[in-house]
Amino acid sequence: MKIVAACDKYKGSLSANAVCNIIAKAIKDIDSSIEVITNPMADGGEGTVETLVESQKGRYLEVPVMGPLGENINARFGIIENDIAVIEMSAASGLWLVPYDRRNPMETTTFGTGQLIKSALNMGCKKIIMGLGGSSTNDGGMGMAQALGVRFFDINGKLLGLGGKQLSKIVRIDTSGLVPGALDIVYECACDVENPLTGKNGAAYVYAAQKGADFEMIRQLNRGLINFAKIIKNDLGKNIRDLKGAGASGGLGGGMVAFLNAKLRIGVNIIIDVTKLEEKIKDCDLIISGEGAFDKQTFFGKSAFGVANLAKKYNIPVITINGSVLVDRNQVSRSDSSLFCGNFSILNKPMDLSDAIENAPELLESLTGEIISFYLKIKR
């Protein structure tokens, strides 16, 4: 018998690697003859670097970069397979880096994210996986491009500075200074939203408020992104305004496409490819997935949903073991429900979140043991 554990992290409690290892131990304790394959998962957001570095036996690098407000910070990214860089834009340009009373997407910049890309290029990386999410910015990736040598000019031919407030001033873009080799590698952006760059469903109107923008700022930022897209189309010949996912991370998704020819992909599908999950599950009997909270968002590109969709191709049963289950089978469509044979929570009684976090390893191991014991009785 072969079981694959392909789980995401329990945020604030257990890493994806820890969750998979605990499940594997619990299964082996029940029956040591079962082959258990662990394949930690992520969806492209927070934890992606850690998951891929740990599962692929990669390494971390920490480099000095510019933070969202122009301050000097250190940001970490990962290297796997010797020449693939894994970057979370939030490491350099994340909302978590900006004090609540200083959040202002008119001022924040993705310049530091561009510096991380430049560091990876200088190391000779042939591919960069960029996790989009958790941004403090709404600059369309302008700062990222500036860090890589792209220059933006206003109507008077003056070089523009940093921040979302600059977008509406752009009249010309000069990419002649783009760092050597920047267009010679592959970029994949892990994106779990389909928001376009502009409009009521775009980067500014949907996400800028949580980054500190008031309504007038939101209108200005949207107008700036409209102008940004217009100049990119005129000067670079690329139409990113209505591109699905272009609005991710304050428009960084669109900027990555415009300046680096990046591909926007559902994050979990990137992880599936990198970890070669499909090869691992082809001949397995059962897949165990899961995450911290199994809820409605799970069905919009989260790890468990991606794993289950892949498993359906081979008619392999999937169950999830989660920190909590906040949706029942009547709240999702029949087709989505049918992807999972069952969704379980490790909570065995009412408890505070702090207790659940503290006792998560023991709770997970115990529940896994009960499920596997039941499963084996049915199978045998």
Instruction: pLDDT tens for the chain, 380 residues: list them.
Output: 999 999 999 998 999 999 999 999 999 999 999 999 999 999 888 889 999 999 999 999 999 999 999 999 999 999 999 999 999 999 999 999 999 999 999 999 999 999 999 999 999 999 999 999 899 999 999 999 999 999 999 999 999 999 999 999 999 999 999 999 999 999 999 987 889 999 999 999 999 999 999 999 999 999 999 999 999 999 999 999 999 999 999 999 999 999 999 999 999 999 999 999 999 999 999 999 999 999 988 888 899 999 999 999 999 999 999 999 998 877 777 667 789 999 999 999 999 999 999 999 999 999 999 999 999 999 87
pLDDT of residue 336: 75
The per-residue b/e assignment along 325-362, b for 16 or more CB within 10 angstroms, e otherwise, is: bebeeeebeeebbebbeebbbbbeeeeeeeebbebbbe
Query: Please, what is the angle between helix 215-236 and helix 248-260, to 10°?
Result: 10
**Dist CA 281 CA 288 (whole Å):** 11
**Dist CA 228 CA 145 (whole Å):** 13
pTM, rounded to two decimals: 0.92
pLDDT of residue 334: 66
Token readout for 214 is: 């008031």
Assign 158 to helix, strand or coil.
coil
**Dist CA 86 CA 77 (whole Å):** 6
In order of 266, 328, 332, the CA distances from 300 in angstroms are 10, 16, 11
pLDDT of residue 44: 86
Name all domains of the chain by residue range, CATH numbers in brackets.
Answer: 2-41+285-379 (3.40.50.10350), 48-267 (3.90.1510.10)
**Dist CA 322 CA 330 (whole Å):** 18
In order of 22, 171, 205, 240, 299, the CA distances from 257 in angstroms are 39, 19, 21, 8, 26
Counting DSSP H helices and E strands in the chain, the numbers are 14, 15
Burial zone of 105 (CB within 10 Å; 0-12 exposed, 13-18 middle, 19+ buried): buried
**Dist CA 2 CA 287 (whole Å):** 9
Q: For 89-192, list the strands marked E by DSSP.
A: 127-131, 151-153, 172-174, 186-190
**Dist CA 28 CA 132 (whole Å):** 36
CA atoms within 13 A on the CB side of 172: 9
